[in-house]
Amino acid sequence: MVNGYQAAALNEALDILAQKTVIPYSGGTDLMIEPDDNAIYLFLNKVPEMKKIVEDTEYIRIGAACTFTDILESELTPAILKEAVSQIAAPAIRNLGTVGGNICNGSPKADSALIFVATDAKLRLASSRGERIIPITEFYLGRKKTALAADELLVEILMHKTGLGNYYYKKVGARDALAISRVSFAAILNVAKGKIVNCMTAFGAVSDVIIRRAELDAMLTGKTLAEAKAVREAYLTAYNQAIVPIRGRISAEYRKAVCMNLLRDFLESNGI
């Protein structure tokens, strides 16, 4: 028998979280792997504030309890996120699994989290004490470690509405379907008036956290494509030094080689 509390509103969920020792639970696809018969859960799948995908003047706001299927079916979802989410597991998992769980799990292999990191998304965190909005790059502190306080919930993910059209996404797995990432890569590059105005890259399943090196991408920002070509090798060398893969079932050497091949392909596909 599963023990827990069913919250019907965000304020109710936050009050329960402030008073009880509970595990937030929505889709539960990660928690099902290692169930704890003694755990007490806080069910969030009926909290309306966390089930919406809406937009304002600046952001697309994705509720943390939205399923991957919700994201795929929304007209507001950017193409880069839809492509990544469409490759997550099978339809049954996408119907249950939620984007908030994918992020808060703290895994560097999380497919949706990679996209949010690559696009410099922000996270809205809430507790009974108040709310805060932080860059997702500040959320991950290490493998399975996040900046989420014990009494906080991830409520929304905020993605920029513009500048996400020219994207690059690749997921490398052991098979074509139902694969856990061995290496994944997402990038955005925008050119306006002949100059690169924005370059954002991120690697998943390589290190303890998703790799996002904004200071390296800045080497290309503000340059024409010709000028970017001139610093291409310096950029690749800097990234090659910055990527220090973890060792596991897949060798670190393999992971680094794939990372660099993907990065080169991204540059070449954009004329750099």
Model confidence pLDDT, tens digit, residues 221-231: 999 999 999 99
pLDDT given at position 36 = 76
Task: Tell me the sheet residues that pair with 156.
Answer: 63, 124
The pLDDT score that the predictor gives to residue 180 is 59
Residue 110 lies in a domain: yes
Instruction: Measure the CA–CA gap between 117 and 130, rounded to whole angstroms.
Output: 24
What per-residue confidence (pLDDT) applies to 174?
A: 55
Length of the chain: 272
| Same domain assignment for residues 121 and 205 | no
Among the candidates 112, 140, 160, a domain finishes at 160
Tell me how many helices (H) and strands (E) the chain has. Answer: 10, 13
* Average pLDDT of the chain, as a whole number: 93
The CA-atom distances, in angstroms, between 26 and each of 47, 69, 117, 206 are 10, 14, 22, 27
C-beta atoms surrounding 82 within 10 Å:
16
| pLDDT value, residue 176 | 52
Whole-number Å distance between alpha carbons of 192 and 264: 22
- Residue 2's pLDDT is what? 64
Count of structural domains within the chain:
2
- Quote the domain boundaries for residue 257: 167-269
Same-domain check for residues 64 and 156: yes
The answer on 172 and 87 residing in a single domain is no
What's the whole-number mean pLDDT along residues 208-236? 97
Amino acid at 33: I
Q: What is the pTM of this model?
A: 0.94
Rg (alpha carbons) of the chain, rounded to whole number: 19
Residue-wise pLDDT tens digits, 137-187: 999 999 889 999 999 999 999 999 999 999 999 999 754 544 556 899 999
**Bridge partners, residue 199, by sequence:** 189
The answer to whether residues 136 and 180 belong to one domain is no
- Residue 149 contacts by C-beta under 8 Å, 6 or more apart in sequence? 125, 127
Contact 46, 7 (CB under 8 A): yes
Residues 218 and 250 reside in one and the same domain: yes
Q: What average pLDDT score do residues 69-73 get? A: 98
Helix axis angle for 111-118 and 79-86, nearest 10°, is 160
Which residues have C-beta within 8 Å of that of residue 267, sequence separation ≥ 6?
A: 228, 232, 235, 236
The pLDDT-based confidence of 89 (bands split at 50, 70, 90) is: confident
